[in-house]
């Protein structure tokens, strides 16, 4: 008789765990509390599904134990992911050299392939089934779990928690798995939004809403620069957004939670160093001394941005360039190279792509994904205190942790 493994959560990591459990010879039941599996997966990569990334190292992941993510991913890396999806008929291609997407450019095709594989392997999927409580025990000397749900009790010899985080709750990722893990004795590191927009102090952002521009961003926490990112910055009516902001957001959210001062300094001329920028500004003012201040950077920066930076430097837009004082020019230079955005908060979980925090990984074996506290209990995906950068890293974590949890859960007790 096949060993039965229960998987709570039908997202990316849960589907991966179920497939690998079934491929390893066990029978599998997925318990999903929403009406369908994989809803969050459909929104990844703006609907195109950035499956993985060939630039895969520890700097791309964040965790209270920095070595933990790569101990898992080293067992199932990006090439393994591409081969796995190829076995299900999904061929991939790279964009921007290292980012891999399905050739169809459809996240829906990835979800469909996962569901078809579950169907082929006989994975049972229970939707609209809400787990209320987990009762661990033993049967014939082996781990045994009873999951109490609103549809009755479901039992199995192994259990995988792949419930996701609190990010994007409209997709069903509501953080309910944290309570299940905590009830089993696991410590939860406070979940906070990550890969999310940042809200900044000041009413002037309303006049900047909609601007997109290349920029370099430096994150300062309590006056100390801790991280830099560059790319397309998006200005919103409440603050800043875009991929470089997302990459900084998990650090900003953690610092704000600790009541520390958080600033983002923005360089609007990232293609020049400070000295080159100073020379550029001087030459620009000499060449176009006959223009108004509001037209000084025509064709270089977005006009609304120029007006805002000039105003912040105390330069009315109608001021002749030739009439700009040395003090005003220095303030304008600082605004161009080190515009200070004082961060008041990160946007909440409904806006976040992932969460930082979750189940403390010191209580999980990275070689097997098994709990160090409850034999036969395994973890996969975002429920753990692991989050990645933009670019396919969070999905790679889902695939790798799901693979390890699934294959090991199926083998537990058979060795």
At 224-239, the pLDDT tens digits run 999 999 999 999 999 9
Instruction: Give me the mean pLDDT over the 141-149 stretch.
Output: 96
List C-alpha distances in Å: 376 to 71, 165, 336, 386.
Answer: 20, 22, 57, 21
At 85-107, the pLDDT tens digits run 999 999 999 988 899 999 999 99
Q: Chain-wide mean pLDDT for the chain? A: 96
CB 147 within 8 A of CB 30: no
Split at pLDDT 50, 70, 90, the class of 332 is very high
Q: Is the model's pLDDT at 261 over the cut of 50?
A: yes
Instruction: Give me the mean pLDDT over the 149-169 stretch.
Output: 96
Instruction: Give me the mean pLDDT over the 18-39 stretch.
Output: 97
- Give all domains of the chain, ordered by start, each with its CATH number: 4-192+356-411 (3.50.50.60), 198-346 (no CATH)
Instruction: Give me the mean pLDDT over the 359-373 stretch.
Output: 98
Burial bucket for residue 383 (CB in 10 Å: 0-12, 13-18, 19+) = buried
The predicted pLDDT at position 183 comes to 98
The predicted pLDDT at position 203 comes to 87
Split at pLDDT 50, 70, 90, the class of 415 is very low
- Phi, psi dihedral angles at 241 (to 5 degrees): -150, -175
Split at pLDDT 50, 70, 90, the class of 414 is low
Three-state SS letters, the chain:
CCCEEEEECCCHHHHHHHHHHHHCCCEEEEECCCCCCCCHHHHHHHHCCCCEECCCCHHHEEECCCCHHHHHHCCCCHHHHHHHHHHCCCCEEEECCCEEEECCCCHHHHHHHHHHHHHHCCCEEECCCCEEEEEEEEECCEEEEEEEECCEEEEECEEEECCCCCCCHHHCCCCHHHHHHHHCCCCEEEEEEECCCEEECCCHHHHHCCCEEEEEEEEEECCEEEEEEEEEEEECCCEEECHHHHHHHHHHHHHHHCCCCEEEEEECCCCCCHHHHHHHHHHHHHHCCCCEHHHCCCCCCCHHHHHHHHHHCCCCCCCEHHHCCHHHHHHHHHHHHHEEEEEEEECCHHHCCEEEEEECHHHECCCCCEECCCCCEEECHHHECEEECCCCHHHHHHHHHHHHHHHHHHHCCCC
Instruction: Give me the mean pLDDT over the 50-71 stretch.
Output: 97
Split at pLDDT 50, 70, 90, the class of 77 is very high
The predicted pLDDT at position 324 comes to 96
Instruction: Give me the mean pLDDT over the 340-364 stretch.
Output: 97
Instruction: Give me the mean pLDDT over the 339-363 stretch.
Output: 97
């Amino acid at each position: 008789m096949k060993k039965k493994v229960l998987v709570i959560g039908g997202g990316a990591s849960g589907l991966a765990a179920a497939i690998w459990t079934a491929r390893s010879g066990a029978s599998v039941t997925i318990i999903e509390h929403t009406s369908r599996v994989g809803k969050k997966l459909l929104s990844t990569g703006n609907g195109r599904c950035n499956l993985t990334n060939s630039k895969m190292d520890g700097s791309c992941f964040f965790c209270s134990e920095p070595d933990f993510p790569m101990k898992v991913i080293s067992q199932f890396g990006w090439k393994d992911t591409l081969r796995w999806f190829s076995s299900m008929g999904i061929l991939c291609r790279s964009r921007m050299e290292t980012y891999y997407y399905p050739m169809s450019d459809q996240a829906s095709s990835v979800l469909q392939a996962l569901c078809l594989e579950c169907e082929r392997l006989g994975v049972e999927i229970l939707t609209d089934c809400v787990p209320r409580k987990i009762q661990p025990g033993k049967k014939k000397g082996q781990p045994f779990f009873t999951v109490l749900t609103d549809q009755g009790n479901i039992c199995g010899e192994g259990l995988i928690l792949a419930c996701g985080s609190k990010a994007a709750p409209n997709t069903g990722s509501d953080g309910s798995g944290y309570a299940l893990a905590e009830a089993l004795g696991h410590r939860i590191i406070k979940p906070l939004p990550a890969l999310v927009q940042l809200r900044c102090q000041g009413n002037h952002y309303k006049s900047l809403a909609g601007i997109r521009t290349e920029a370099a961003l430096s994150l300062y926490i309590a006056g100390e620069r801790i991280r830099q990112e560059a790319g397309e910055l998006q200005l919103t009516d409440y603050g800043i957004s875009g991929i470089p902001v997302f990459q900084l957001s998990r650090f900003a959210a953690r610092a704000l939670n600790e009541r520390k001062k958080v600033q983002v300094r923005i360089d609007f001329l990232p293609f020049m160093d400070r000295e080159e920028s100073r020379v550029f500004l001087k030459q620009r003012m000499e060449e176009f001394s006959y223009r108004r201040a509001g037209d000084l950077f025509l064709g270089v920066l977005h006009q609304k941005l120029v007006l805002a930076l000039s105003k912040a430097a105390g330069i009315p837009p109608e001021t002749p360039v030739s009439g700009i004082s040395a003090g005003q020019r220095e303030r304008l230079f600082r605004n161009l190279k080190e515009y200070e955005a004082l961060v008041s908060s990160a946007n909440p979980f409904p806006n976040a792509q992932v969460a930082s925090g979750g189940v403390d990984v010191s209580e999980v074996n990275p070689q097997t994904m098994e709990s160090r506290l409850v034999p036969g209990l395994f973890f996969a995906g975002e429920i753990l205190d692991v989050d990645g950068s933009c670019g396919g890293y969070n999905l790679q974590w889902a695939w790798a942790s799901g693979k390890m949890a699934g294959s090991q859960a199926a083998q537990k007790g058979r060795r």
